[in-house]
Amino acid sequence: MKMLNQVKFTFASRSVNERFARAALAAFLAQADPTVPQLADIKTAVSEAVTNCIVHAYPDTVGPITMTAVLYEGGTVRITITDRGVGIADVAKAMEPMFTTGNPEERAGLGFAVMQSFMDKVHVSSTPSRGTRVTMTKRLDTK
Protein backbone atom coordinates (compact mmCIF):
# COMPACT_ATOMS: atom_id res chain seq x y z
CA MET A 1 0.00 0.00 0.00
CA LYS A 2 1.30 3.40 -0.95
CA MET A 3 1.10 6.08 1.73
CA LEU A 4 -0.75 9.22 0.62
CA ASN A 5 -0.48 11.37 3.73
CA GLN A 6 0.43 11.22 7.39
CA VAL A 7 0.04 13.29 10.55
CA LYS A 8 1.58 12.83 13.99
CA PHE A 9 1.04 14.83 17.14
CA THR A 10 1.62 14.52 20.86
CA PHE A 11 -0.61 15.86 23.60
CA ALA A 12 -0.92 15.64 27.38
CA SER A 13 -3.07 12.92 28.95
CA ARG A 14 -5.72 15.37 30.11
CA SER A 15 -9.39 14.55 29.57
CA VAL A 16 -9.98 17.77 27.62
CA ASN A 17 -7.54 16.50 24.97
CA GLU A 18 -9.72 13.51 24.09
CA ARG A 19 -12.02 15.89 22.20
CA PHE A 20 -9.02 17.55 20.59
CA ALA A 21 -7.70 14.19 19.33
CA ARG A 22 -11.06 13.30 17.77
CA ALA A 23 -11.44 16.72 16.13
CA ALA A 24 -7.88 16.81 14.80
CA LEU A 25 -8.25 13.32 13.37
CA ALA A 26 -11.58 14.21 11.74
CA ALA A 27 -9.97 17.25 10.10
CA PHE A 28 -7.12 15.09 8.78
CA LEU A 29 -9.49 12.40 7.47
CA ALA A 30 -11.66 14.94 5.63
CA GLN A 31 -9.27 14.66 2.67
CA ALA A 32 -10.34 11.01 2.25
CA ASP A 33 -14.02 12.02 2.19
CA PRO A 34 -15.22 9.31 4.58
CA THR A 35 -18.93 8.72 5.08
CA VAL A 36 -20.50 10.19 8.21
CA PRO A 37 -20.94 6.72 9.78
CA GLN A 38 -17.31 5.80 9.01
CA LEU A 39 -16.06 9.02 10.57
CA ALA A 40 -18.24 8.46 13.64
CA ASP A 41 -16.88 4.91 14.01
CA ILE A 42 -13.27 6.05 13.78
CA LYS A 43 -13.80 8.94 16.19
CA THR A 44 -15.42 6.58 18.70
CA ALA A 45 -12.53 4.12 18.50
CA VAL A 46 -10.00 6.93 18.91
CA SER A 47 -11.95 8.30 21.85
CA GLU A 48 -11.76 4.91 23.57
CA ALA A 49 -8.03 4.53 22.91
CA VAL A 50 -7.20 8.03 24.16
CA THR A 51 -9.45 7.64 27.20
CA ASN A 52 -7.67 4.37 28.05
CA CYS A 53 -4.37 6.28 28.06
CA ILE A 54 -5.76 9.04 30.25
CA VAL A 55 -7.42 6.71 32.78
CA HIS A 56 -5.17 3.66 32.83
CA ALA A 57 -1.73 4.53 31.45
CA TYR A 58 -1.26 7.58 33.65
CA PRO A 59 -3.54 6.96 36.65
CA ASP A 60 -1.76 9.34 39.04
CA THR A 61 0.04 11.70 36.69
CA VAL A 62 -0.09 13.44 33.32
CA GLY A 63 2.03 12.00 30.51
CA PRO A 64 2.40 12.15 26.74
CA ILE A 65 0.04 10.50 24.27
CA THR A 66 1.10 10.33 20.63
CA MET A 67 -1.36 9.81 17.80
CA THR A 68 -0.28 9.00 14.26
CA ALA A 69 -2.72 8.71 11.37
CA VAL A 70 -1.75 7.45 7.93
CA LEU A 71 -3.88 7.41 4.78
CA TYR A 72 -3.05 4.83 2.14
CA GLU A 73 -4.03 4.41 -1.47
CA GLY A 74 -7.31 2.57 -1.76
CA GLY A 75 -8.87 4.27 1.24
CA THR A 76 -7.22 2.52 4.17
CA VAL A 77 -6.48 4.52 7.32
CA ARG A 78 -4.18 3.34 10.12
CA ILE A 79 -4.25 5.12 13.46
CA THR A 80 -1.68 4.45 16.16
CA ILE A 81 -2.05 5.73 19.70
CA THR A 82 0.96 5.35 21.97
CA ASP A 83 1.65 6.16 25.60
CA ARG A 84 4.64 5.76 27.90
CA GLY A 85 2.57 4.89 30.92
CA VAL A 86 2.27 1.89 33.23
CA GLY A 87 1.73 -0.63 30.44
CA ILE A 88 -0.43 -3.73 30.42
CA ALA A 89 0.88 -6.95 31.95
CA ASP A 90 -1.63 -9.24 30.20
CA VAL A 91 -2.91 -7.75 26.94
CA ALA A 92 -5.16 -10.73 26.16
CA LYS A 93 -6.88 -10.40 29.54
CA ALA A 94 -7.18 -6.60 29.18
CA MET A 95 -8.92 -7.06 25.84
CA GLU A 96 -11.63 -9.28 27.35
CA PRO A 97 -14.99 -7.49 27.55
CA MET A 98 -15.85 -6.29 31.06
CA PHE A 99 -12.24 -6.43 32.30
CA THR A 100 -11.02 -3.19 33.85
CA THR A 101 -8.15 -2.14 36.06
CA GLY A 102 -10.13 0.95 37.04
CA ASN A 103 -13.02 1.35 39.44
CA PRO A 104 -15.72 -1.08 38.19
CA GLU A 105 -18.41 1.35 39.35
CA GLU A 106 -17.01 3.96 36.95
CA ARG A 107 -15.55 1.82 34.15
CA ALA A 108 -17.34 -0.83 32.10
CA GLY A 109 -14.22 -2.51 30.75
CA LEU A 110 -15.43 -2.28 27.16
CA GLY A 111 -12.82 0.04 25.62
CA PHE A 112 -11.00 -2.56 23.52
CA ALA A 113 -14.29 -4.26 22.58
CA VAL A 114 -15.63 -0.92 21.33
CA MET A 115 -12.46 -0.32 19.30
CA GLN A 116 -12.72 -3.78 17.76
CA SER A 117 -16.38 -3.31 16.89
CA PHE A 118 -15.79 -0.04 15.02
CA MET A 119 -12.50 -0.78 13.29
CA ASP A 120 -11.49 -3.54 10.87
CA LYS A 121 -8.38 -4.47 12.86
CA VAL A 122 -7.04 -3.60 16.31
CA HIS A 123 -3.59 -4.63 17.51
CA VAL A 124 -2.31 -3.91 21.03
CA SER A 125 1.27 -4.24 22.21
CA SER A 126 2.44 -3.29 25.67
CA THR A 127 5.31 -3.57 28.10
CA PRO A 128 4.77 -3.01 31.82
CA SER A 129 6.35 0.26 33.01
CA ARG A 130 7.15 1.27 29.41
CA GLY A 131 3.79 1.92 27.76
CA THR A 132 1.24 0.71 25.28
CA ARG A 133 0.66 1.00 21.54
CA VAL A 134 -2.78 0.54 19.98
CA THR A 135 -2.88 0.31 16.18
CA MET A 136 -6.28 0.42 14.49
CA THR A 137 -7.01 0.01 10.80
CA LYS A 138 -10.15 0.73 8.78
CA ARG A 139 -10.84 0.64 5.08
CA LEU A 140 -12.97 3.55 3.96
CA ASP A 141 -15.58 3.24 1.24
CA THR A 142 -14.17 4.76 -1.91
CA LYS A 143 -16.45 6.86 -4.04
| 8-state DSSP, 61 | S
In whole angstroms, what is the distance from residue 72 CA to residue 32 CA? Answer: 10
Task: Identify whether 139 is a catalytic site residue.
Answer: no
Please tell me which residue in 17, 18, 22, 52 is annotated as part of the active site.
52
Can you tell me whether residue 83 is helix, strand or coil? Answer: strand
Sheet hosting strand 64-72, strand order edge to edge: 3-12, 64-72, 76-83, 131-139, 121-127
**What's the rounded Cα separation, in Å, for the pair 27 and 134?**
21
The residue annotated as part of the active site, out of 84, 107, 133, 139, is 107
Tell me which of 48, 73, 96, 106 is the catalytic residue.
48
Cβ atoms of 65 and 9 within 8 Å: the answer is no
Please indicate whether residue 19 is annotated as part of the active site: no
**Is residue 107 among the annotated active site residues?**
yes
Q: Catalytic amino acids?
A: 48, 52, 107
